[in-house]
Copies of this chain bind each other. A is one copy, B any other.
Amino acid sequence: MTELVFIGLGLNDDKGITLKGLEETQSADAVFMETYTSRMPDFNMERFEAECGKKVQLITRRDLEEDSGKVVLQAAKAGKAVFLVPGDPFIATTHVTLRIDAEKMGIKTRIVHGISIVSAIVSLSGLHNYKFGKTVTVPFPDNFSETPYNVIAQNRKLGLHTLCLLDLRAAEDRYLSIKDALKQLQLVEEKKKLEAVTPVTVAVGIARAGSSKPTLKAGFVKDLVDWNFGEPPFSLIIPGDLHFMEIDALIAFAGAPGEFRRLAK
């Protein structure tokens, strides 16, 4: 059998994979894993290899981008290869090219989904999924861009929430903090003055989504910049119009102040 199965590892640790994902890994001829698109803080490789009964080969960004995933494709040509990816395999676009290349080589591909940071954050917040607009990534200050602010402003004009993923360089152990993300957004606010991210804008900061101890804090931007969220990774939601049920959820699950009740629309 010549086959390449992309399997999502989910979030945080080696127990975020599904039973189906584990079974597929147990029956593979070769197992690869990349860990550079995301951080899995509590992933224990020894425990995972014992669980799946396979030796896992780590794949670097270089292996995939410069060598076009040759080692993975060769293994898939020879038998059943499994490629393990943090979160869900194709929510980040990095691996779509590898999948297209495999199909072009006549290698059958399949997906076993994993939990994506995108749905985990929406779920944790208690905000309504159908009220989220376009998602955006806030880059590090050395890649400063006005795009995240523009996306938030556009979504807010439509009454929609914005999920902001905060940039990370897992290999360098660097994570954009909620404080630094808010500062960047406020810099653009000072210039554009669309009232999209002011000190009294509501925001929700989330740390370690998908772990057993996530931190959520809903408050005004001016309060969140000084909040201690603990360890990374971090994410941020800038809500649009809030329904009273969403406000109840932010008060119950994210420590929002009671004065949020007057914001219901």
Name which residue of chain B comes closest to A121, CB basis: B113
Report whether B17 and A128 are in contact in the complex, using a CB–CB cutoff of 8 Å: no
Report whether B115 and A115 are in contact in the complex, using a CB–CB cutoff of 8 Å: yes
Q: How many copies does the complex hold?
A: 2
Task: Report the Cα distance A17→B23, complex, angstroms.
Answer: 12
Name which residue of chain B comes closest to A10, CB basis: B18
Across-interface contacts of A50 in B (CB, < 8 A): none
CB contact between A160 and one of B20, B134, B252 (< 8 Å): that residue: B134
Q: Is A89 engaged at the interface, CB distance under 8 Å to the other chain?
A: yes
Across-interface contacts of A89 in B (CB, < 8 A): 123
Within 8 A of B (CB), among A98-133: 99-100, 103-104, 110-111, 113-116, 118-120, 122-124, 126, 128-133
- Pick the most buried of A97, A122, A160: most chain B CB atoms within 10 A of its CB: A122
Name which residue of chain B comes closest to A159, CB basis: B134
**Given A114-B115, A134-B130, do A123 and B91 touch, yes or no (CB 8 Å)?**
yes
Task: Report the Cα distance A134→B159, complex, angstroms.
Answer: 11
Q: Is A215 engaged at the interface, CB distance under 8 Å to the other chain?
A: no
Across-interface contacts of A210 in B (CB, < 8 A): 113
**Given A91-B129, A93-B128, A252-B99, do A16 and B11 touch, yes or no (CB 8 Å)?**
no
Task: Report the Cα distance A50→B53, complex, angstroms.
Answer: 23
Report whether A15 and B20 are in contact in the complex, using a CB–CB cutoff of 8 Å: yes
The contact string, 1 if C-beta is below 8 Å from chain B, for chain A 1-40, is 0000000101101111111101100000000000000000
**Given A123-B91, A128-B93, do A113 and B11 touch, yes or no (CB 8 Å)?**
yes
Report whether B17 and A19 are in contact in the complex, using a CB–CB cutoff of 8 Å: yes
Task: Report the Cα distance A135→B129, complex, angstroms.
Answer: 8
Across-interface contacts of A158 in B (CB, < 8 A): 134, 154
Interface residues of A (CB under 8 A from B): 8, 10-11, 13-20, 22-23, 51, 88-93, 96-97, 99-100, 103-104, 110-111, 113-116, 118-120, 122-124, 126, 128-137, 154, 158, 160, 210, 212, 245, 248-249, 252-253
Query: 5 closest Cβ contacts across the A-B interface?
Result: A116-B119, A15-B20, A15-B19, A90-B123, A113-B115
